[in-house]
Structure 1
């Protein structure tokens, strides 16, 4: 048995304690208050969280190998570990998207070489049907990167009715509004706030009508968030994500120099929307911190491709949330550990015991340990993603990552 000790934070409480685990089974055997003398002790500057999970990334690998120059399951895993993340969920917009049993199984086989657990979303597109086994699904309501999207709402509903009761995540951008604004002068005006809020109305309608377990991805608008809050209050089964970039940046900081690096779907919004996302976390309305890690090459970004590489900085950004945005650490444990753990729970293999994202007996010994008194400047040389760039290059984070444990073993990014 091994034991680590120090300041522990879960979604319920903060306490000085010790965690005993079996590195052979990878499971926690005992959690108790107080510091066990023979344990590996982390200083009072450090915080032991249940292992972080990023449930929205684009690892780019599929059976064709066409996009592995951007990323693959090994490099995405290295970027995750570098960011203090011990499990991820990968989106399906690949050259050969996982949309049926065969294509899903073929892609899943490729994840087996990864040093951390990777959950795969299946894609919903024109004419698709649910898989024979339980998996999470992703639907792109309007044009995005890839071909797996719908041109109008009636064709989307025609397909979604087959997915009644399923776990479905929505990229909320109304296709007709995007088409109407395609000639606007900037990326932000070509994909206006109304595209998200109108699509939100339709997504909530589908979730409610077809009894979906719905999730709205990378949320960015104040008005749309109010719709989600209202839906939750009336019992609709819906959750939502927010990205680090929509919490830290807004259109006020865009310049001619950085504009292409911060191009993403949905785009950056105004200050009021950014502040609403922070308040949404504080008020308990936003359920996940998820990066939408979209690793494109430097050349692609310079040509105007949408998407931001940010898996490497997940844990560093959490220190910013704690120390700069004043988000309570129990809330961090909820949106970065417990909720992502619950999201992937139905799809985890038995080796994870009772699950991930919780520090308790029988759960996986996965820990993300942060040092809140050791600032770090994030440099290009620190990037593990194949993309080779980050919007946070040169940014001074107020804390750093002390250690990462996965199934009872300390791991390092390779």
Structure 2
């Protein structure tokens, strides 16, 4: 099979062909033969997008399957141009040991087109699994019961995780407790809670020698600490979400307050602009959704999180066409770095349009706008915070191991 169009990777954009055989790219060039799929110059072909931060809700307990299941999360992902996702461990039956991890992993449907990676949970007194997996540590309370109550408790537990990959929800538990009587959700979780936690995570990376990943960065004030840590050569990466790049506190109203509630909360316009700059200039490593589906009636009662898998690709076109991101930068934050994460834990190689890489692609159309409508949402929760928003482009197609599964 031959695919022809504008290929976007971290080293630039070129009009060329991809020859695919048995699910892998075998050749990249021009004049390879008559193409089976041709995409116009309005389109960009990327190595398949990945999302390293998703709450797909399903676990062996089944207690949250009314919000989302692996099959519906996969449908939402493909709809948004995402071909692999990493699921978080704050489930009722949390995957904190070998048996619980295997029980959860076994629930993925055999015919699922999306690649799943599962984080193992780190909680007070847990130990690393024997198999190679990524880990998630919740420094303080968010959603679920898997979290730490003190920095000392976390420090003691992390001593056993040298050499591992650990993603952190960075909000200091003791500071959160001290602000718990404040009025609004944003006041209960102020920026100092996140900045303090980011600084502590960096201390833990130094002390215990693991790869640390700062999840859903929301405060511009934390970026200089990450910059210094990277300059020192520490193994640290970070991500930012669509909601922290698109929304801010100025848009919160009494009518939408609970629907704009998440952890960490929305910040100021200045924070939002700083995060956009950090993602654009390379200081922030990945775009990740923190896809957190809840039913509308649950959101109305006040629970944190928003669904974002369905709109990942259209949101990326907003970055490209309205926020000054180059195709090369999108290839880095949506394909290359998430692909490198995925390839740590699975057979195959994702992230680039190169021979011997998986023939898994996301094709964006930059000339066909997308207006987000509730009826189009594939996530089981059935809504999007972007309803009514028109993004400047759309997902044209998705290929998984050489098979075109959308058009």
Same fold, TM-score > 0.5, yes or no: yes
Name 2:395's counterpart in structure 1: 401
* SS of residue matched to 2:239: strand
- Residue 73 of structure 1 pairs with residue 70 of structure 2: yes
Cα distance between partner residues in 2 of 1:93 and 1:232: 28
Residue in 1 that maps onto 2:211: 213
Looking at structure 2, the residues matched to 109 and 225 of structure 1 have their Cα atoms a distance apart, in angstroms, of 38
> Partner residue of 1:5?
4
Inter-partner Cα distance in structure 2 for 1:130 and 1:33: 48
Residue of 28, 31, 51 corresponding to 1:54: 51
1:284-363 alignment, distance < 5 Å: 284-349=282-347, 352=348, 355-363=349-357
- Following superposition, the deviation at residue 178 of structure 1 comes to 0.8
- One of 368, 373, 378 as aligned partner of 1:374: 368
The 8 Å contact of residues 71 and 109 in structure 2, kept in 1 or not, is answered as no
Looking at structure 2, the residues matched to 112 and 153 of structure 1 have their Cα atoms a distance apart, in angstroms, of 38
- Mapped to 2, the partners of 1:274 and 1:35 lie a distance apart of 45
Partner of 1:40: 37
Q: For residue 260 of structure 1, give the secondary structure of its aligned residue in structure 2.
A: helix
**Superposed CA RMSD:** 1.1
Counterpart in 2 of 1:389? 383
- Greater Cα offset, 131-140 or 26-35: 26-35
Match of 2:170 in 1: 172
SS in 1 for 2:106: helix
- Rounded to whole Å, the distance in 1 between the matches of 2:399 and 2:36 is 15
**1:35/1:7 Cα in 2 relative to 1: closer, same or farther (>3 Å)?**
farther
| 1:39, distance to aligned residue in structure 2 (A) | 3.7
- The alignment's TM-score, normalised by the length of structure 2, stands at 0.98
Q: Is the 8 A contact 2:19 2:32 kept in 1?
A: no
DSSP 3-state at the match of 1:185: coil
Choose which of 86, 96, 100 in structure 1 pairs with 2:83. Answer: 86
Mapped to 2, the partners of 1:383 and 1:136 lie a distance apart of 29
Deviates more, 1:60-69 or 1:30-39: 30-39
In the alignment, what sits opposite 1:21?
Answer: 20
Figure out how many residues of one structure are paired with residues of the other and give that number.
406
Query: Where does structure 2 lack aligned partners over 5 or more consecutive residues?
Result: none
What is the CA–CA distance in structure 1 between the aligned matches of 2:232 and 2:48, rounded to whole Å? 32
Residue deviations 1:244-295, cap 9 Å, x none?
A: 1111111111111221111000000001110110110122101010000000
Q: Is residue 220–residue 269 contact of structure 1 (8 Å, CA) maintained in 2?
A: yes
**Separation in structure 1 between the aligned mates of residue 386 and residue 32 of structure 2, nearest angstrom:** 36
